[in-house]
Amino acid sequence: MLRIARLLTALTLLYSTASTAAGYQIETMADGLDHPWSIAWLPDGRVLVTERAGRLRIIEHGALLEAAVDGVPDVLTVSQGGLFEALPDPDFATDPWLYLSFAHGSRDANATRVIRARLVGNALVDHQLLFTASPAKDTPVHFGGRMAFLGDTTLLIGLGDGFDFRERAQRLDNHFGKIVRIHRDGSIPTDNPFVGVDDALPEIWSFGHRNIQGLLVDPESNRIWAHEHGPRGGDEINLLHAGGNYGWPVATFGIDYSGARISPFSSRPGMLDSVHHWTPSIAPSGMTLYRGALFPEWRGRLLVSALAARHARVLTIDGESVTEDRIILGEIGERLRDIRTGPDGAVWVLTDANPGKVLRLTPSS
């Protein structure tokens, strides 16, 4: 027993030393979570954390509340399914709408769904269905699920290709491998790029994606960044443009899990190239563009958490190019599901485990 205690102490010391040498210290804000998936802040300082198992949790005054939020809709938790993002409305302070993305249905007929509900106390009320991906699929994987508000308060929703339906990512009559844009009430903006196009779904905003896992809007530049999983290789960072075709599966740096070639092309005319890609795959998950004050060396850089690689990346951006790709948080040694910038400039990270943790990074000095 004493030997185990000494080993744990040594590992904790190593973890702390590695973090300090990198210029940050790591504080555990909450643990015991079941595969936490996303994190967000409310105007009053409360922190929202989703658990893929279908629970919405709140951290208040630095402590995780024991009771989960009531009123979360039924969620499909088979395979990669679950509760994904909880995103506060831009006007939450005056009208407390919360937007939830999650897997809906059954193993044999499932889809990504988005609802909104008002958060009143510790309960969701006044539920409204906004979007359900179509058609339903019989593969409970590649749901996407990330969301982001544009400056005009329309909502972007990232979707996956369902794994077995990758060819449909190039067609505009379905939601596989798409990003869609809707109003906050679920209606479709009339200036979407495919409104009025024959055989195209008018909510589609971009296409040719595999499985969107990171999505953000930079309020300083109005640029829209996304990343998506490749298969074996070919994870991508993309700058998004309305109506853009991002290539999957016609243009990719990845190969199939069997080792077979998916496409001979990594670039094609009429398709937008990625800004950056990873081969072999790191399985990017969350993403934040750091604009805080606590880490001036990270300001203006993309921070990307990774599942398979069990670390995070700091990407230096110059125009539309990535000029440096640096590893951080490797000392944690766990799959990382999300990374976000808190209101005070601290960086928050979720570990993808059961039990999973909420971690907070501040400068070591």
* Residue numbers annotated as active site: 142
DSSP one-letter code for 261: B
Per-residue CA distances from 75 to 61, 101, 212, 318, 319 (Å): 28, 10, 19, 41, 40
How far is it, in rounded angstroms, from Cα 285 to Cα 211?
10
Q: What is the DSSP string of 180-219?
A: EEE-TTSPPPTTSTTTT-TT--TTEEEE--SBEEEEEE-T
List the Cα angle 70/72/78 in 5-degree steps. Answer: 130
Per-residue CA distances from 307 to 94, 285, 310, 329 (Å): 36, 6, 5, 12
Is the Cβ–Cβ distance between 84 and 128 less than 8 Å?
no
Per-residue CA distances from 345 to 53, 69, 110, 337 (Å): 29, 26, 38, 19
Is the Cβ–Cβ distance between 209 and 248 less than 8 Å?
yes
Is the Cβ–Cβ distance between 191 and 204 less than 8 Å?
no
